A and B are shown apart, each in its own frame.
Chain A
Amino acid sequence: MSGVRLLVGTRKGAFVLTADGTRDDWQVEGPLFAGWEIFHLNASPVDQDRLYASQSTGWHGQVVQRSDDGGKTWEPVGNEFAYDGVPVTHQWYDGTQHPWEFARVWHLEPSLTDRDTVFAGVEDAALFRSVDGGQTWQELSGLRDHQTGDQWQPGAGGLCLHTILIHPDDQTRMFVAISAAGAFRTDDSGETWRPINRGLRSGELPDEDKEVGHCVHRIAMNPSRPDVLFMQKHWDVMRSDDGGESWHEVSGNLPSDFGFPIAVHAHEPDTVYVVPIKSDSEHVPPEGKLRVYRSRTGGNEWEALNSGLPQSHCYVNVLRDAMAVDCLDPGGVYFGTTGGQIYASPDGGDRWKAIVRDLPPVLSVEAQTLP
C-alpha cells in the first residue's frame, strides 16, 4: 500500500514520520542527530531511500549526512563548502561591504535524474553542487559572480539561499531565491544567472524597480506547469506565468500578505497554500488563529482553512521550508511550526490533525510519497 514519509528538520534534531496511504496513523522516529540543528532533509526523486540531511551547530559548523536506506542509518559525507575563487564582498546590514562567509546549508535539492547529484543552497548565499553523493562540493559561482553580487544584503535570517527549483522539462533551467537579494534563473545548468525580479515591489527600497534587494521568502511550482511560479515574499504573494520574467501580485483577500512558506497542490496547479503571519515585526498568526489559506484560482481568491487548527491563543510561526505536499490522491498537505507541531491534512487542507505536538521548533518539512 502506498504511503507517506515526512522528513522533518528541527532546532534539535531530525524526525522521520511515516504513515500508510490513509495518513491516519503516524509512526514518529527520532530525534536523529539529537541536539544539532537540522535545517533541511530531502530525498532523491529517483531513489526513495537516498536521503540527504543538513546538520549544523554554531560550535562545530556544517555536517552533511546521507542515508541509503530511507533514514534508518546515516553516513557523514563531505562538509567542505569552499567558495570558488577569492571571496569578494556583499552588502552588510548597515550598507558597508562584508566578506562572504560560509555559515550553513539551508536547503538540499537532489537532482531529478541522478541520485548522486544534489544541490545545496547555503548562507552566505551561494549554490553548490555535488555529483558524488555529497562527498565533495563545488560552487556554481556564476550566481555569486553576478554583477549585482556586491549589492546583495542579508535578511533577518542571514544572507541565505533557501529555494532551489529544477525545471522538470528542461533541467538546464533552475530557479533559486535568496533573502534578501531576490530570485534568479539559470538556463545553462548554473553557469550563468540573471535576476528575475521584475514586478516585485518592496516598499522600503528607494528604487522600486531595483534589480535585486527583494526579500523573497519562498517560491513554489507544480511540476506539470513549471513556468508558473508562486512566491511568498516578505510582503505580497506573487505569481509569474513566464518562468519568472515578470511577476504580479495575487495576495487578494489574504488577512496579511506577510508569511514564509508557499506550496502548490501536487495535482491541481492552481491550488496554492500559504500561512499568513501578522507583519514582519510580530511573526505570529493574525488574531492568534492558525489558518492555512488556500486559493483554487491560482491566487487572488483565498479561503481560510482552520478545521483542526488552533483558533485561539496561537502564536507560532511556520518557517519557509516547513510546508510540503504529497502526491497521493487526494493530495495531502503538511506543515510544521516553531512550537513543534506537525499538522497534516490528507484531503488538500479541508481537515487538519496534529501528527505530533511537542517537537523542537520545526525548521523544515518534506513529504515523500512512497509506492
Chain B
Amino acid sequence: MIRVVLPHHLRTLAGVDGAVSLEAQERPTQRTVLDALEASYPVLRGTIRDHGTAERRAFIRFFACGRDITLDPADDPLPEEVASGAESFRVVGAMAGG
C-alpha cells in the first residue's frame, strides 16, 4: 500500500479525509504514484499536473521521508519507506505570501 497525503483543498475536492491509500507498486515513482492517484480520483486530474503535458504545476511540491523530492526525476524510484507504506508521499502547496 502506498499512502499519499494531499493538501486541504485537494482532500476537499476528492472527498477524502486523511491520507489516500493506493495499491502497492513494485517500483513506485512520482509518475506512477500520481498516475494511480489520478486514476482513483479523476477529479484530481489537472490539479497537481497539467492536463496536456503532465508536468507538475508550478506551485506544487512533493515531499517524502522529510525530504523535498520535487525536483527529482519523475521516473526515479521513490524511497523504500514510501514503497512499503511506512512513509507517505506528500503533495504540498508551495508557500506563497507571508
Chain A interface residues toward B at CB < 8 A: 35-36, 57-63, 76, 79-80, 82
Task: Check A76–B13 contact: CB distance below 8 A.
Answer: yes
| B28 CB → nearest A CB, Å | 23
Q: CB of B43 within 8 A of chain A?
A: yes
Roughly how many angstroms separate A260 CA and B89 CA in the complex, as a whole number? Answer: 45
| B14 CB → nearest A CB, Å | 9
- Chain B interface, >50% SS class: loop
Roughly how many angstroms separate A57 CA and B10 CA in the complex, as a whole number? Answer: 11
Instruction: Evaluate whether A62 and B46 lie within 8 angstroms (CB atoms) in the complex, with A35-B9, A76-B13, A80-B51 already known.
Output: yes
Task: Check A59–B9 contact: CB distance below 8 A.
Answer: yes
Task: Check A57–B52 contact: CB distance below 8 A.
Answer: no
Q: CB of B27 within 8 A of chain A?
A: no
| A62 CB → nearest B CB, Å | 7
Task: Check A58–B59 contact: CB distance below 8 A.
Answer: yes
Task: Check B57–A61 contact: CB distance below 8 A.
Answer: yes
Q: Give which listed residue, B8, B46, B60, B96, contacts A79 with CB less than 8 A.
A: B46
Task: Check B52–A59 contact: CB distance below 8 A.
Answer: no
- State which residues 59-96 of B face A: CB under 8 Å: 59-60, 93-94, 96
Chain A positions within 8 Å of B50 at CB level: 61
Roughly how many angstroms separate A35 CA and B10 CA in the complex, as a whole number? Answer: 11
Chain A positions within 8 Å of B46 at CB level: 61-63, 79-80
Chain B positions within 8 Å of A63 at CB level: 13, 43, 46-47
Roughly how many angstroms separate A36 CA and B7 CA in the complex, as a whole number? Answer: 13
Task: Check B51–A60 contact: CB distance below 8 A.
Answer: no
Chain A positions within 8 Å of B48 at CB level: 60
Q: Give which listed residue, B52, B57, B96, contacts A60 with CB less than 8 A.
A: B57
Q: CB of B31 within 8 A of chain A?
A: no
Chain A positions within 8 Å of B94 at CB level: 59
Besides A60-B60, A82-B52, 8 other A-B contacts (C-beta < 8 A):
A57-B9, A59-B9, A59-B57, A59-B60, A60-B13, A76-B43, A79-B45, A80-B45
Sample (12) of A-B pairs whose CB atoms are under 8 Å apart = A35-B9, A36-B9, A58-B96, A59-B57, A60-B57, A60-B93, A61-B50, A62-B46, A63-B43, A76-B43, A79-B45, A79-B51
| B37 CB → nearest A CB, Å | 13
Roughly how many angstroms separate A36 CA and B8 CA in the complex, as a whole number? Answer: 11
